Amino acid sequence: MIAEESDVIRRAADGDARSYGILVDRYSPYAMTLAMRMLKDRRDAEEALQDAFVRAYRALPGFERRAKFSTWLYRIVYNVCATMLSRRGEPTDMTQDDAHGDETSVEIPADDALPDEMMESGEFDLFVRDEIARMEARYASILTMFLLQEQSYEEIMEVTGLPIGTVKNRLFRARMLLRDAVMKRFPEHTYGMMT
């Protein structure tokens, strides 16, 4: 955590609403992305985000700084969204292990399997974001945290409360779904992905 952010967090924890506003401005786009991936509805995601930020503000004096602020905040967002899914009556397995979730030897396909011109393409970026949005929440949330927000396995474990094997398993499945969608949409560029 950079010193400036640490100072802002300290002031916000002491009740400075302006400092908390700085944190909200900084993290709301990422938190909104996670909420959208889980809830698949903008109004629900906005409501969840408001609830999560209120909860975070109330809990901030107890923030122990053992984790990064972003990880702590995303955990709150994740829990609020999981609760909303449950209240909707939708089947929610956001915190349950997948079959074979305790396996730790899952191979994650590398991003370098995609040709550079595809990775740099704006069209490709939009396509990837759309495909992630279409995935089941349990895969979309993990892939969003890993690929778009560049969180580590350990940070994803802290946010979701899932064991490492389940995180790796879901990430593997999500990347396979994404790879299959890319191969269908961009068949002319998939020669390197087949190996």
**Rounded average pLDDT over 76-88:** 91
* Statement: 111-193 belongs to CATH 1.10.10.10: yes
Pick 155 or 100 by higher pLDDT: 155
Q: Tokens 């053992």 identify what position?
A: 66
CATH number of 3-87: 1.10.1740.10
Indicate if the pLDDT at residue 7 is higher than 50.
yes
Two tokens, residue 96: 């349950």
Two tokens, residue 192: 């390197």
**Rounded average pLDDT over 153-163:** 93
Span 87-136, pLDDT tens digits: 887 755 554 544 444 443 334 344 444 444 444 557 777 888 889 989 99
pLDDT for 191 equals 44
pTM surpassing 0.75?
no
Q: What's the rounded Cα separation, in Å, for the pair 190 and 113?
A: 9
Q: What's the rounded Cα separation, in Å, for the pair 144 and 148?
A: 5
Q: ∠ CA 106-112-114 to the nearest 5 degrees?
A: 105
pLDDT for 94 equals 54
Domain parsing of the chain, residue ranges: 3-87, 111-193
**Rounded average pLDDT over 32-45:** 93
Span 136-153, pLDDT tens digits: 989 999 999 998 888 999
Using alpha carbons only, how large is the chain's radius of gyration in Å? 18
Indicate if the pLDDT at residue 63 is higher than 60.
yes
